[in-house]
Amino acid sequence: MNYTKYEKVRIIGARALQISLGAPILIKTSLLDPIRIAQGEMKKGVIPITVVRD
């Protein structure tokens, strides 16, 4: 699915919050910054968040 830049930022932010609160990381990485980890997950397409458009 193609996301708008606003959707991407919202998804990455939400996922980074989940990671910072202890959610399991879905990619192998040596990064420690939750935002960078979420960006990596977004790039690989493994973030378990969907967008519903009306």
| Per-residue pLDDT tens digits of the chain, which is 54 residues long | 799 999 999 999 999 999 999 999 999 999 999 999 999 999 999 999 999 998
In a domain, 23, yes or no: yes
In a domain, 19, yes or no: yes
Q: Give the global pTM.
A: 0.91
In a domain, 52, yes or no: no
Whether residue 50 contacts residue 15, with contact meaning beta carbons closer than 8 Å, is answered with: no
In a domain, 25, yes or no: yes
Q: Which amino acid is at 37?
A: I
The pLDDT score that the predictor gives to residue 32 is: 97
- Round to whole Å and give the CA distance between 51 and 10: 10
In a domain, 51, yes or no: no
Residue span of the structural domain in which 19 resides: 14-44
In a domain, 5, yes or no: no
The total number of structural domains in the chain stands at: 1
The pLDDT score that the predictor gives to residue 1 is: 76
The pLDDT score that the predictor gives to residue 19 is: 98
Is 42 exposed, middle or buried, given 0-12, 13-18 or 19+ CB atoms closer than 10 A?
Answer: middle
In a domain, 4, yes or no: no
In a domain, 29, yes or no: yes
Whether residue 15 contacts residue 35, with contact meaning beta carbons closer than 8 Å, is answered with: no
